[in-house]
Structure 1
Amino acid sequence: MNMISDLTLTDYLRIIRKRKWIIILCSLIVVAVSSLYVSKETPIYQAKARVKVEQRTTLAGGLMEMMTWSTGDVMATEVETVTSYAVMERVAYKLGKITEKELRYPHEFTKEAESFETQQTPDRVLRIVRGLRGKVSAKQEGITNIISITVTSSDRSEAARLANLIAQEYRNENRYQKQKDKLAAKSFVDSQIQWYEEAIKKSATAEKRFREERDFVTPSQSLNNVLAQLSALEVERTRLELQISQAETKLKQLKEAKTDTGKLQVLFPEIYNHPTLATIRQNISNLEIRLSEFLESATQLHPQAVQMKRSLEKLKSEQKKEIQGLVDASIISTEAQIASLKERVQETEDRKEKASQRLAKIPDEEVKYAQFEREVKMNNEMYLMFKRRSEESRIAEAEQTGNVSIIEPAVEPYYPISSSGKGKIAAGGVVGLLLGFVLAFIIESLDTSIGTIEDLERYLETTVLGVIPYIGPAEGIIIPWRPKFLALPKPFSSRRRPPQGPPMPLITQSNPKLPEAEAFRTLRTTILLKMPQDEHIALLFTSASPQEGKTSIISNLGLTMAQLGKQTILVDCNLRRPALHRVFGVERGPGLTDVLIGSATVDEAIKSASDLLFGALELEDFLETPGIDNLYILPAGVHPPNPAEMLATERMTELINELKSEYDIVIFDTPPTLPVTDATILSAKVDGVILVYRAGKSSRKVPKRAMELIKGAEGEILGVVLNDIKPEIETTPAIYQHYYYYEEEGAEESEA
C-alpha cells in the first residue's frame, strides 16, 4: 500500500474494505473456472488385483535353481516382470489391440517359443504396449511376497478387466519361464540317460566276456578300494565337467545378450529386470509416448521435438551402458566360476593319477577286471542320477503350475478416485479468496496515492492542516463572468474579452451550512492556531502539479477569514494562468504585474467589496454574505514575459511587506511548484507555505519532491491541505442541515 511496513489490524480491514470488489471478482472467477473444470473433468477409476509369489519347494525347482543364476532381489524382479513387455504384449493381444502375427512373445507356452522371440516389434505394437503400461503400476506390499497390481483408467470396466488380465498373464509368464527352463533341463537329462543306458550295456557285456575267457572270480580288497576311489573320482569329474559346460553355455549367452536386449530379457530376466534398468526403461517409455503425442501436432524439426529426441538418445545410451556394466559383472563372475571348476577338475585328475599309480602295482588281470567293474558301477550311478532327475522333471511338468497365484481379482470400481466436484469448487472459492487478498494487497502496495491521513503525515513529515471533501456542482454556486455596465467607466469593447476557463465554486458564500463549507472554517481555525496571535501573516498556497484546486481553496478560505473580521487580501501570483479574478468576477487588470512594473499603484490595483458588488455578486448575495467587506483581491494583471524574474525582484519583497502592514491576512495564489519556479522563489519571502494535494491525482512522491524544493529555498512549510477527498463512508449532510434548521428556527422564536 505504501512504504510503511508496520500494518495494524485496522489497516488490513481498511484495505479489504477498499479493495473488496477485487477480492469478490477473483473469488467469482476462480469458482467459475473450477465449476467449468469440474463439469468437463473425466472421472478416473482405479482397480486393483493382488497376486502371491510362492517359494519353490519341489525337486525340479531345486534343479532349476542349480541351472540358473541370479544376483537380484527375487520380489523386485517379480514386480518388474508384472509390467514387462512380454506380459503387456500378451495383454494387448487378449484385448484385441494386436494380432497374433504381431506377437513377439507367445501368448501360451509352446515349444516353438524361441521363434516368436526373435521377431522384430512394429512401432504400432510398441505404442500400444507402452500406452497400456502407462496405466499400470505394481508394487510389493510391505515385506510380504504379495504384489498389488493397480490400473488407472477413465473406464471403470476397462480398469477391472485390464487388472485381471495382467494378473493372469503374469501368472502365465511365470509358468512359461518355468516350463522353458524345465524343457531345456529335461532335454539334457534325457540325452544323458540314453547315452548311459548304452554305456551300461557295453560295459556289462565286456565284463562278462572277460570273466568267461579268464575264468576270473573276484578281485582283492585293495583292488576294490582303489577301484571305488577311481569310480568316485570319475563321477566327481563328470559332475564338474557338467557344471563347466553349463557355465560356458551361460558365458556364451551372456556375451550374445550383451548386444541383444531380446535375448537378455528371455535368458537373463534377473539382469533385464534390474531396478536401475527398469527405471531407465520406464523413463524411455514415458518419453517415447510424450514424443509420439507431441509429433501428432508438430513436426520432427520442432525445437521441443529435437530436445526430446536428444533426451531419448541419452536415456538409451545410459540403458546400454548399464546393461553392459551388469552383463560384464555377470561375465566376470561366470568366468571366475569356470576357472574355479577347472581347478577342481584338475585336482580330481591329480587324485585319479595317484589312484592309477596304486592300481598299476596290482596284477594285470585283476586290474583289467577291476576296470570293467568300475566302468559298470560308474555308468550305473550316472544313469540312476539322471533317471531320478528325469522323473522329477516329468512330475513337475505334469503339474503345470507356477509359483504365482491370484489371491484377489480386481472388481469394477464404483466411485472415481478423484475428489468430489463440490469439494473442488469449494477449494476453488478458498483459492479465489486468497488470490483476491494477495491481488488486493499487491494493488494497494503499488498505489502510491493517499492511504490514510496518518500515513501521509508520516511520509511527508508534516501536518495535514485540513481535509476538503469533494464538492459537486449542486453543492457549490457557479459564478459565471458577466459585466456590470454601470460599474464600468466604459462599455464593453472588442478589445476587452471575458475571462477564459471554467467557473469556480464558492461554497462558503452559496451554501455556508453544508459540511463542505464547514471544512474551510476548520482549515481557517487550524491555520490561525499555528500562527502567532495578533500578528499580520503572509501565507503562500501552492501545489506540486496543476489542477490541484489551490484557487478554489484560497477563495473559500479567504472568505472565511474575512467573515472572522480579519482584513484579508488574496493576491494572484499565478502570472502564467491566473484564475482568481474569474472566481470573484472582477477585472484582471490593473493588477500585480502593473504594480511591479510601476504602471499602477497598489490602491488602484486592489479590488474591494464595491468591485465585488459590481463584479459577480448580486446585491442580495452581497448583503447576505457577512464579512464580505473585509475581503480584498489583487488580481494578476497583464501577462508578463518573465513571471519568475518579476516575482524575484526587490519590489515584490517590498510589496509583500506593504500588504502585511495594511492587512491582517495576506494569501498568495501561486503556480504549481514542480513545473515552474515561481512558488519556490516566493516561499522564502512569506511567513508560511501551505501545500495543496488532491488525493488520487498523483503519486505521494510528487508533493514530497515539491516540499524538498521549498525547503531547499528556505521556505517554511506549515502543512498540507487534502483536497477533493471522497470518503468510502459517505457523510450525511442532512444531519447538519437539520441542526442548522432548528438553530435558526429557535433563534426566530427567541426574537419573537
Structure 2
Amino acid sequence: MIRLHIIRTVIFALIGLAIGFFILSQSPKIYEGRTQLVLGSQTPNGRFYSTVLNQDVMDILQTGLASNPQTEAQILRGEGVFRNSLAKVAAAKGQPAMSSQFEDYYRMYDVQSSTDSSAALIKARAYSAQDAADLANTIAETYNELRQNNQRAAVARALEYLQDQIVKAKQDLEASEKKFKDAKVKVGAPDITAKVVRDVEYESQLRASLDSAKAELSGIDEQIRQTQAQMEERPKTEAGDMSEQKSQTLQQLENQLAELERNRTTLLVQYYPDAIPVKNIDGSIESVKKQIKTIKESAKFENTVRNNRPDTIRKSLEANLANLKIQKDGMLQRVSSLEATQRQHEQVINSLPQTNMELVDLARDVDISDANYKRLKVQSEDLKNRTESIAAAAQIVDTAVPDENPVLPRPPVIYVVSILCGAIFGMLVSFAIEAMRLRIYSSTQLQEITGLPVVGVVHDLPGPTARRLLTSLREPTPLVAESYRFLAFAGTSKKAEGPRTILLTGADGKAGCSTTAAQFATALAQSGSRVALVDCALDDPTITRVFGLEQKSGVSDILSQTQLPSSESTVGTETSTPNLRVIGAGTEGKNAIKVAPTQNINGMIGALASSCDFVVIDTMPCLSSSDAARLVPYVDEVYLVVSAKSANMRNVAAAIDVLTLASAASIKFVMTKGSRGEEAVMKQANFASARG
C-alpha cells in the first residue's frame, strides 16, 4: 500500500513539474528598475527657520514642504504619481498600450521605506529592462515635479499674502503721517516736536534692540534643542573591545570636524542648506573627512589598546551645548536689561504734558507703521530671492539602469512549488481512492460481510520474524507460530473419512499465502498427521526455495508426465519434521498446471492423498493467475488467505466469485496480519507464539 501511495505521489509530482514547465514557458519575463531617493523636507526638522519671515508667512510656506518620510512614501506609492509616470513613459516610447495596462503595472509596483530612515527605494517592474528603468526614473522625476509644484504654489500664496499686508501697511503709514503732520501744525511748537521725535526714535531703537535680542534668544533655544536631539542619537562611548590609539594629527582633524559640524548646525538656523555660507562649510567638512580617511587607510596608529573611549562627536556636542547655555544666560541678561531701559523710557514719556503725550503717541504710530511697512517689504524681497531654494527636489541617490536579469518568473521556485503541489495533490488523491474502497480490518467484519467462516487469524509479524518462521521449517526444530497451531487444530478438528485436500490461495500477493501454507502443514505434521505440502505456485515457488528443491522433480514434472508416481515409490521429499513431505514446483516450467490434462491433475492429487492424511496445496493468488481456479474442483476445501492490512472488499468479492465459478466445494477465510485491537477478546490468544 505504501508503495502504491509513493508511485501515485511521484506520478502527480511529475505531472506538477510538467505543468510548472508549461507555466514557465508561457509566462512573460518581468524586469525590475530601482531608484533610491531621500524623502522628507530638506530644511532642519522639516520646518522653516528665519529671522526675516514672520510666523504667518512660515506657516503658509510649511504647507508646501515635504512631510515626514512615511507620509511622503505613501504619496509616492499612490496611484496618481504612478499613473502620470506610466503615461509619460508610454508617450515617450510611443506605446499607448502601456497606459491601458495600468492595473498590471501598478500591481507590480512597490516603494520600500522604513520608519527609522528617510531613504526610499522605488521598485518598478515592466516587460523589458529598459522600460522598467525608465519607469522607475520617471516616477522619481514625477514625484519631484509634484513636490516642487506644491512648494512653488506655497511660495506664491505667501507672496500674495505679503503683498496684501504691504498695501494695508502702506495705507496705515500714510494715515499715521497725516495725523502727525496735522497735530504739529495745530501745536505750532517745532522744538517740542523735535524732542518728541527724538524720544520716539529712541523708543523705536530700544524696541528693535529688544526684538533682535529675543529673536537671538529664540535661535539659541532652537540650537540647544537640536544639539540635545543630536546628542540623544549619539552613543556615550565608542565600541572599544579592540580600539586603536590614534595619532595626534588624526585627533586634531576629528576635533576640527566636530567643530565644523557644530558651526554648520548653527548656520542652518539662519540659512537654508543651499546658502553660500552653508555650502562653504560643507566643502570644509568634506575636505577634513578626506584627510581623516587618508590617515586611516594608511594605518598610522601608535598602539592597540583594549578600552572604551567617549564618543568624539558627542563630546563636541556636549561642549557646544555648554557654550550655548552660557550664550543663553548672557542673552537673558541682555533682554532683561533692555526691558528695564524700555520701562524707564516709557515712564519719562508718560511724565510729559498732555499735548506732548499726544504728539508722542502720534509719532510712535508713524514709527510703528513705517517699521511694519519696511519689514513686510524686506520679507517680500527675501521670499522672492528664496523661491527656487525653497522649491528643492528630493535627492536622488541612485538612478535606475537597465538590468537584463528578469526577476520573474523564478524557475527554481516554480519547479519546487509545482513538484510540491503535485506531490501533495497526488497524496490526497491516493488516500481518497483508498478511502473510497471498503477496507477489511478484522475477521468479524470479514465474516459479517461475506457470510463465510474465518477459520484462523494470524497476527501481524515483523518482516524479519516472518522470514525467520519460514526459513526455520527446514531446520531440525522448526519454529511454528501459535496462531498457525490454532488454525491447524480448529480447521481440522472434525474427523473425516479418508484424506483431506486443502488448497490455499490469496486475493493478491501481499497476504502471505506461502508462509501460511508451510506453517499450517508443519503444525498438522507435528500433531501426528501425515501431511504432503505441495508447491503449486509455479510463478513464485517460495516453498520450493525454502526447502532447497529447485533442482528436484516436482509438480510440473508430474503433470508433464516426465515423472509419474507409483504405488511402490513415495512422491516428494521428506523433511526434518516427522510426517511432513514437500513436493516442489519442479523443473518443467511455469505453465504446467494451465496446460496439463485433467486426468493428470486428478491422478497427481489422488496419488498424494492415497499416502497422506492431509494434502496442503499452495497456489498463486487467484486474481493474478488461473492456476488456483484449475485446481479448485479437485480439492475438498479452499482457504482464501486475506491480509488485514491490504485487503479491500472489491478484491475479496472478486476472489470469491472466481473460486465459486470454479466449483469450490467449501470456501473458508484465513486472515493474516491481524491487529490485536481489531480482534475479539476470545481470539487474542491466537497472538501468542511458541517454539515447536
Q: TM-score range by the shorter chain?
A: 0.3 to 0.5
- State the TM-score, normalized to the length of structure 2: 0.43
- State the TM-score, normalized to the length of structure 1: 0.40
